[in-house]
Amino acid sequence: MIESFPANLPPPEPFIRLFQWLEANSLAEKSPYDGQWYAKLDPAIDRACILVTPVEPGFAEAWCGEAKPEAQDRLAAFVRTGGDGSYAGLWKDDDGNVSIVHQGSGSGSTLLCKLTDNPIDFLRILAIGYEELCWQDAYGLAPQEAFQNGWDDDEVNIPLGPIQPVRFQRWVSESYGVSIPRTASEIVKSTSGIDDAASADPFWNWIRKIQSQ
């Protein structure tokens, strides 16, 4: 995981500790389909789409273009947030500040925004227990509410829904002396989308600038 990050955009200490914890708890495994490594956040959430994966340079290229290596060095997506292929990761802005941002796939999620400046706050969001973190409409809902909101009223045999990642929640809380919020909107106060005509979000505007060059 650590070696997959761009040389000038290394993972901050809380994420290094996350990778070490995932490995120590045998949560990392190799996919039988493509041979890539990934890790679930908690053994209780086997069905969840949120996975920690090595940084894929091609994901930055899809947004910035292969001819813009300086932009690719400032993006490092390492958490898959949904089954549609959306990701969250690190972004270095023009002033050298590093944030955690979300890049929707565009084919499903359109969420394109800065999530938090603080790595620990991002860990708190992950610990809430969402099955997917790529839908901005779910940010104001608890995981169970977001799950039920995704089903039609006439749907039969509805699964029980998300299970709380208790082991991961305990590790985040005890490691950093923080609480786990009920919803993502307690931390992420505003979101923007790929198709928005305008946005005050700094990451949204940076992506638009890069794509127009």
Residue 154 has a pLDDT of 45
Residue 75 has a pLDDT of 94
* Residue 98 bridge partners (DSSP): 92
- For residue 9, the enclosing domain spans 2-212
Residue 46 has a pLDDT of 67
Eight-class DSSP state of 188: -
How many domains does one find in the chain? 1
Q: What is the pLDDT of the chain when averaged over all its residues?
A: 89
* Residue 29 bridge partners (DSSP): 38
The band of 156, judged by pLDDT with boundaries at 50, 70 and 90, is very low
Please report, for residues 43, 80, 121, 139, the alpha-carbon distance to residue 132 in angstroms, rounded to integers and kept in the order given: 16, 9, 17, 10
* Residue 103 bridge partners (DSSP): 87, 112
Max Cα distance, the chain (Å): 52
The band of 51, judged by pLDDT with boundaries at 50, 70 and 90, is very high
Mean pLDDT of the 175-202 span: 96
- Tens of pLDDT, residues 10-31: 999 999 999 999 999 999 998 8
**With b meaning 16 or more CB within 10 Å and e meaning fewer, what string describes 169-194?**
bebbeeeeeeebbebbbbbbeebbbb
Gap between the Cα atoms of 116 and 98, Å rounded = 10
% of the chain at pLDDT higher than 90 = 68
